[in-house]
């Protein structure tokens, strides 16, 4: 294979993530004045854990030795999770090949770029949308007519003028990686912590073209689709059309992930949702905060009562796996008001509650609150809030640990019988905060905590610190441990794990295991209720 004139590159957080943005660029290389460039372009993806020297060596090997002075271009997709490593990759590439043209783009460099080292090292920056502007720039660079300006505002075309990227997913991608798709871009809401608040509206791709692309992916064997739309249920007719597409093609291995608006669930949509069996739908529901004053401060419009009613309906009547999101550290949000919101959400019973800490993404309007609310952020990516006027640094650190422990204890689905005991009392959050504080003092770890270590810690805390009956807690932990499929021997269960069946064959997806544990936990809960 001859050396490419153009390489599209990025560093993904994990191998399973396949860059949708780069595939958009690749699909549009022969359009918008870039005719003939598609065949001269190669896509190269790495992960952030791969050593930088190896990435540089791989790119230089792809580029080969420069022939007769012909220009070559490497474009990098830059995000909050890869900017540090990508900066060093570019530094080394330019040192090895000074004539190489480096172009950067992506959310991390589209705003507040003037002082960024990665922009200084690059030859050109495209801010915002690159579907049109990147091919145009590459054509100019290869023709020896580089633009005078280093920073190029990305041109935003109509979505019907953008080639869809899904043919650029390889068969190997479809088999081994998450498949990202989008039926629309943009968002009409103005939540100030989100980059989508800068959009003027939400725009939908032509429905017939999008469904045809889905059909092609489905025929090629794709069964896992993660929609990146910010507001999948914004336009209900469109939502129903897409759901019907998949309902007509149900298979046991079909999996669909959608991000939905929490307070918008009309009856037509409910009627469609209930037709999907268990294991197919996963909804990410961005609640973020229940505090009305905080919501108003950050320009977030949300009907809290309707949000709760919709969540309660989804839990009671649908088979969807529900992820509900909360953010700690928003301007004006105290630990007490967050605790009240957590307790309210926990009572509704979503399968998972994702606890995030506010990040000050470049360009987001949340920065306007810095002075008034004493917002102090880490200066290094991912720019996590360190303290606010109403949350000190020690509390913020304690919450960050709590969020990690919560994922291990609750979102993992490993402790469905033990968790209600741990969180018993007037405030589940207060109980959780107390336990995670003790866990940190006891272990000084937030990583490398095995399921067995957690079982023993829970046993010690619930029996020694709280004073629950030892044998009752032991039997509860035993039931959870056996149901989780773990195969080792926690100390507190010594002698109770003999003569176990051989482990069942490992499921192909960690996500499937996690959802399965939650599903079995729900079934167990129903049986307990039936016996009461």
The pLDDT tens digits for 230-247 are: 899 999 999 999 999 999
Tens digits of residue pLDDT in 350-365:
999 999 999 999 999 9
Q: What is the separation of C-alpha 264 from the centre of its chain, rounded to a whole number of angstroms?
A: 22
Distance in angstroms (rounded) separating the CA atoms of residues 186 and 4:
33
Task: Band the pLDDT of 498: cuts 50, 70, 90.
Answer: confident
DSSP label of 365: G
Position 515 pLDDT exceeds 90: no
- Per-domain residue ranges of the chain: 6-158, 169-391, 412-532
Average pLDDT rounded to a whole number, residues 428-441: 98
Tens digits of residue pLDDT in 20-45:
999 999 999 998 665 789 999 999 99
SS (H, E, C) 392-408: CHHHHHHHHHHHHHHHH
Q: Could you give the percent of the chain with pLDDT greater than 90? A: 86
Give the three-state DSSP class for 178. Answer: strand
Position 333 pLDDT exceeds 90: yes
CATH number belonging to domain 169-391: 3.80.30.20
CATH superfamily for domain 6-158: Response regulator (3.40.50.2300)
Torsion sign across C-alpha atoms 369, 83, 80, 411 = negative
Asked if 78 and 127 count as a contact pair (C-beta separation under 8 A), the reply is no
Q: What is the pTM of this model?
A: 0.91
């Amino acid at each position: 294979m001859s050396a490419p004139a153009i390489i599209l590159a990025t560093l993904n957080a994990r191998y399973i993530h396949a860059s949708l943005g780069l595939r958009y660029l690749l699909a549009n290389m022969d359009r918008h004045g870039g005719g003939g460039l598609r065949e001269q372009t190669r896509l190269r993806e790495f992960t952030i854990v791969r050593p930088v020297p190896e990435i540089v060596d791989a790119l230089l090997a792809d580029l080969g030795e420069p022939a007769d002075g012909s220009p070559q271009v490497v474009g990098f997709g830059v995000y909050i999770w890869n900017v540090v490593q990508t900066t060093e990759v570019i530094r080394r590439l330019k040192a090895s090949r000074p004539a190489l043209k480096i172009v950067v783009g992506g959310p991390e460099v589209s705003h507040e770029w003037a002082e960024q080292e990665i922009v200084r090292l690059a030859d050109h920056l495209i801010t915002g949308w690159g579907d049109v502007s990147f091919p145009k720039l590459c054509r100019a660079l290869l023709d020896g007519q580089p633009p005078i300006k280093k920073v190029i505002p990305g041109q935003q075309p109509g979505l019907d003028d953008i080639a869809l990227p899904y043919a650029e997913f390889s068969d190997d991608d479809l088999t081994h990686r998450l498949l990202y798709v989008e039926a629309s871009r943009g968002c009409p809401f103005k939540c100030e912590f989100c980059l989508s608040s800068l959009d003027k509206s939400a725009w939908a791709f032509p429905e017939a073209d999008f469904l045809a692309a889905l059909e092609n992916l489905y025929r090629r064997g794709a069964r896992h689709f993660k929609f990146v739309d910010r507001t999948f249920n914004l336009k209900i007719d469109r939502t129903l059309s897409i759901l019907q597409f998949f309902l007509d093609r149900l298979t046991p291995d079909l999996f669909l992930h959608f991000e939905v608006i929490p307070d918008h669930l009309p009856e037509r949509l409910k009627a469609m949702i209930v037709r999907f069996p268990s294991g197919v739908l996963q909804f990410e529901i961005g609640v973020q905060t229940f505090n009305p004053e905080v919501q108003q401060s950050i320009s977030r419009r949300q009907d809290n009562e309707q949000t709760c009613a919709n969540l309660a309906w989804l839990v009671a009547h649908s088979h969807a796996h529900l992820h509900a999101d909360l953010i700690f550290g928003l301007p004006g949000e105290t630990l007490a008001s967050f605790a009240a919101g957590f307790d309210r959400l926990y009572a509704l019973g979503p399968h998972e509650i994702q606890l995030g800490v506010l990040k000050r993404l470049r360009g987001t309007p949340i920065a306007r609150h810095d002075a008034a609310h004493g917002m102090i952020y880490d200066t290094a990516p991912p720019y996590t809030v360190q303290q606010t006027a109403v949350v000190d640094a020690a509390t913020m650190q304690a919450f960050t640990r709590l969020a990690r422990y919560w994922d291990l204890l609750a979102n993992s689905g490993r402790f469905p019988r033990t968790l209600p005991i741990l969180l018993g009392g007037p405030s589940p959050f207060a109980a959780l905060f107390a336990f995670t504080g003790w866990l940190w003092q006891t272990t000084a770890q937030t990583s490398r905590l095995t399921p067995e270590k957690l079982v023993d810690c829970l046993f010690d805390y619930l029996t020694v610190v709280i004073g629950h009956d030892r044998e009752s807690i032991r039997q509860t932990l035993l039931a959870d441990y056996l149901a989780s499929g773990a195969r080792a021997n926690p100390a507190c269960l010594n002698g109770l794990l003999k003569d176990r069946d051989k482990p069942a064959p490992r499921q192909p997806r960690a996500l499937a295991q996690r959802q399965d544990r939650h599903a079995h936990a729900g079934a167990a809960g129903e049986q307990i209720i039936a016996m009461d």
